[in-house]
A and B are shown apart, each in its own frame.
Chain A
């Protein structure tokens, strides 16, 4: 909210320095986003055009004789066309400083001009909001009065943030009240008594409230209204506050809204049959042309203020219809109403209209403001010459807020420091609360009618904290509490990140939302995601339409961007849509790597990522007895994919990304990935130490020939089973295919390490063991010793 300091100072004494006021506001919860300093202007005074004549030497200039008080007459030439004798204007005298120019004595086509008649722009006001040409002032202003001083044009304007809970503070009076409370200084309220006391008898307005969303409605009629320009002081204030001056009726409604926080609406009273307004749900398909000229089709979710025939305003949002105030209006009907905030907010959001009125109403205003608003509007209308009738209130009366029984120990309990009873009382009274009863432990507090937001002890504590100052809160370290909440998921992620970074992978974080391109790439490679993607209803752009179904595409896009070989991992959620959207926490890691010359039955890059996968699974589970089996997975190379199982449960799948997929994503190198669903990882089992045998071991290398389909781990497992505890290690370490082995067969070399726990193993024992192994391998896997 734009707050001209000059306006605020009318209600409360404040430090001269704008920054000091800003700091004060921030200290009580109203942060100031910016301070708009005013341009340095001096030497501008009020003058009256005593005489005006055509410039003898220039068609487009006029020369005025300007009285500026004390008998002074200045001769000033102007090019403006809106000037006339008798007008009260502002003139910059010789030596005056204006925003962009310093006024000096100069000749205009032969006539010495002793100053300059000025427009709003020269006062640092938005020229498009004021009359074209010289700004007009009221004739009751003293000639020679300093304009900057008179209208406090030098005082800065603050951009103040008012939080959603403070509907009462979205106004000059509201903020002034807070500042007076914290400073413990006087608050000078404007006159809030309604001057309307004339009975309008049979002509009295009637408001039929047909919806619970209208809580209270103050209606008041005025006659003798003359629509015209507002006085300069009001136009200047509105402009400084960021409101464009329009005419005196509109300006009064805006001025009162800014001053008290109560939005108002004026209807042309002559166009409201029987002075009868109805607040009701809109009819389905009902049309209303709002003040911005847009015709809107409504449905019953919208609340309207209607006359007996049709809607005249979108309640609490925007006026419209045939009852708009126009130049010919001479009687107005004022609406100062209170609506349910949620209802206003829904309609405002549904229709896409946000106004100064709706942003206030949607916070649900205090009822009392409807009376204040009407009173202030009436006062200002009277000043502009109108005659008021008495106000008529409909709906709920302004009731006292429920009293709060406040335990003074709550201050210490929630803030950690104590406030003396006297200090509590002082702060609360400064904020307008009444202290109804007081005991050693409790205060019975009556909130003022404008504070709907203070209902609980905690609310009172916040008020006290604001007034006492948040800097009173002292740092303290709480004791450690015992509880049984686990950190399992987080610790798993932490171990993954540490292990993989130690293995040379870089962690990346990519966007979980993506566009259709991922699916196009997939389709080009001949794949479809295994389950439907989760779709976002309201993305900001099409590249945020879907939630990722896997981490792989993100990795591929990263590899495509980096161009060079890279090793990365990502931990994140992946999403799928079955009966309802669901998600799983997933890890993917992998690398892109320059291909090397290798026979088609060997892939070192695969073995490396399998090695990393095994190392990670060990770090996460503490287990080494996992099983690897070949598998086929969507998007992975059909001959280079495996799953890793622990206790028969799939933990990881590992493989080369299908080259068609890699290509579709624009990656020029082979890519190897491992992905793991974090939910599948079993609890960590602490490894237990088994002391090695004290006796020397012995090993035998067996060169075997077998069918191509026999896998290395089948041979290892078979040997381990046959030998039992005698075999402490068995490891295939070479594979060969080609001449000397035979078509459809391969040679596998395996080292078997034998050891006894109780004695040195003899050669004879080892040879017997090997014979057993060879016999079993022959029977089970058809493997024979290579000749």
Chain B
């Protein structure tokens, strides 16, 4: 017994040294063959068991098996060490992960278009098409077809840039409502974003060039509540999930009944007080809306008794001012890199 133990002990000493010294996988394989191979030292020892008295053989076998397990484990460990040893230097590297990042070359979409895109995406989801159109329009599309005859006082609200007696830069995108209705029978469901022009003196609240987004839905069974529902959804999309919408009676020649549309001030969440955005009312004015006037429907050769519809028109700069808390409307046409970057 003790002779076998001594032999194993001496063998392990040499095995340990050989494994530790092995510089690569090939050398390690040679060590394995020398000790555990078919004619390796441990194999030879195992063959020697047959010489022992029968009573001692089982114990000797166990001792050798245990030793083999240990040696094989050592070989596996050494193999792993050799395989990963090449990364030690790499893994020892330490950097400052808070060093300023390298910015990608980044462009941006103008905040007006971002608002426009969000509105359009919302309405497209509900089956509306988005139609664009000319900015130079005849007075018929801007006024007459909208139930605003010549010399109607409502024309005061659309102080326009004229190019000829009857051609002007559109003061609203309503001409596209008319063009759409001329080309399509109900149901008609469109939003019409685009540039508009009015002879307004430029200040922190006014530009002579601005953007509107109008919407039009004409079909059977459409009522005012559908407008409130859609606009509430739109405001929640733009400003947050708690937005409310309210209608106040108003007058536009092209709608009847008509309404001014307000939404909860997203800056003070409707609390009012000293809020600079809403002036303390808790509400933000979005623009005008209403049920399309029967005269407009008839002008489009629609049956005003059978179909009904609504329309609305909002200024996109106004929505962007509220959404991004912008202090001066002129920033939208100044294109300062800092402004565009902050809102990118």
Q: Judge whether B172 is part of the interface by a CB distance below 8 angstroms.
A: no
Given contacts A415-B224, A482-B127, 18 further A-B contacts (CB under 8 A): A27-B249, A29-B248, A164-B152, A342-B151, A416-B224, A456-B294, A473-B228, A476-B228, A478-B229, A485-B131, A487-B129, A489-B131, A505-B107, A506-B344, A507-B113, A536-B162, A547-B163, A572-B195
Contact B225 A474 (CB under 8 A): yes
CA distance A252 to B1 in the complex (A): 139
Best-surrounded residue of B108, B188, B190, B294 (most CB of chain A within 10 A): B108
Secondary structure type dominating chain B contacts:
mixed
Closest to B260 in A: A31
What 0/1 pattern do residues 485 to 509 of A give for CB contact below 8 A with B? Answer: 1110111011001101111111111
Contact: A342 with B150, CB < 8 Å? Answer: yes
B119 → A minimal CB distance (Å): 11
A532 at the interface (CB under 8 A from B): no
Contact of A536 among B161, B223, B233, B293 (CB under 8 A): B161
**CB <8 Å contact, A31 and B151:** no
Q: Answer whether residue A528 sits at the interface, using C-beta atoms and an 8 A cutoff.
A: no
A540 touches B188 (CB 8 A): no
22 contacts between A and B (CB under 8 A): A29-B250, A342-B149, A458-B256, A458-B291, A462-B256, A465-B224, A474-B225, A475-B229, A476-B225, A481-B187, A481-B219, A483-B189, A485-B180, A490-B132, A507-B107, A507-B113, A513-B209, A537-B161, A537-B163, A538-B161, A540-B208, A585-B132
Whether A567 pairs with B107 at a CB distance below 8 angstroms is: yes
Distance (whole angstroms) from the CB of B195 to the closest CB of chain A:
7
B215 to chain A, nearest CB (A): 11
| A467 vs chain B, min Cβ distance (A) | 10
Q: Which A residues lie within 8 Å of B108 (CB)?
A: 501, 506-507
Give residues 326-344 of B contacting A (CB, 8 Å): 332-333, 335, 337, 340-341, 344
A512 and B209 contact, CB distance less than 8 A:
yes
State A483–B183 Cα separation when bound (angstroms).
12
CB of A211 closer than 8 Å to a CB of B = no
- When the two chains form their complex, are residues B340 and A581 in contact, meaning their CB atoms are under 8 A apart? no
* Cα distance, A486 to B193, chains bound together (Å): 14
Closest to B148 in A: A164
Complex CA–CA separation, A345 to B314 (angstroms): 28
Q: What is the minimal beta-carbon distance from A559 to any residue of chain B, in angstroms?
A: 11
| Chain B residue, CB-CB nearest to A349 | B151
- Please give me the 10 A-B residue pairs with the lowest Cβ-Cβ distance, nearest first: A416-B225, A342-B151, A462-B257, A29-B249, A163-B251, A480-B127, A504-B105, A501-B107, A481-B187, A416-B223
> In the complex, A513→B202 CA distance in Å?
13
Chain B residues in the interface with A (C-beta under 8 A): 104-110, 112-113, 117, 120, 124, 126-127, 129-132, 134-136, 149-154, 161-164, 167, 169, 180, 184, 187-190, 193, 195, 197, 199, 201, 208-209, 217, 219, 221-226, 228-230, 232-233, 245-251, 253, 256-260, 291, 293-294, 308, 332-333, 335, 337, 340-341, 344
Which of A130-173 touch B at CB < 8 Å?
Answer: 163-166
Which single member of A477, A482, A503 contacts B226 (CB below 8 Å)? A477
Q: A603 an interface residue at 8 Å Cβ cutoff?
A: no
Known contacts A31-B260, A483-B189; is-contact A478 B222 (Cβ 8 Å): yes
Number of chain A residues close to chain B: CB under 8 A: 90
Which residues of A have CB within 8 Å of B333?
Answer: 509-511
A residues in contact with B167, CB < 8 Å: 580-581
A612 to chain B, nearest CB (A): 11
Q: Is A539 part of the binding interface, using a Cβ–Cβ cutoff of 8 Å? A: yes
Contact across chains for B134 and A583 when beta carbons are under 8 A apart: yes
Considering the complex, which residues of chain A in the window 307-348 have a beta carbon less than 8 Å from any beta carbon of chain B? 341-343, 345-346
Chain B residues near A695: list those with CB within 8 A: none
Would you call B107 and A165 a contact (CB within 8 A)?
A: no
B335: which A residues are within 8 A, CB to CB? 506, 508-510, 558, 568
Q: Does A363 contact B (CB under 8 A)?
A: yes
Q: Given A485-B180, A490-B131, A583-B136 in contact, is the A504-B107 Cβ separation under 8 Å?
A: yes
Taking a contact as CB atoms under 8 Å apart, the answer to whether B258 and A483 are in contact is no
Which residues of A30-89 have CB atoms within 8 Å of chain B's CB atoms?
Answer: 31
- How far is A295 from B120 in the complex, measured between Cα atoms in Å? 55
Q: Is the CB of B332 within 8 A of A470?
A: no
Cβ–Cβ contact A482 & B187, under 8 A:
yes
Contact A540 B153, beta carbon cutoff 8 Å = no
- The answer to whether B120 and A490 touch across the interface, beta carbons within 8 angstroms, is yes
Separation of A312 and B279 alpha carbons in the complex (Å) = 48
- For B223, the closest partner residue in chain A by CB is A416
| Cα-based distance from A497 to B224 in the complex (angstroms) | 34
Q: B109 contacts A501, CB within 8 Å? A: yes
> Given contacts A505-B107, A536-B163, is CB(A483)–CB(B188) below 8 Å?
yes
Q: Please determine whether B340 and A164 come into contact, CB atoms closer than 8 angstroms.
A: no
- Interface pair A470/B106, CB less than 8 Å apart: no
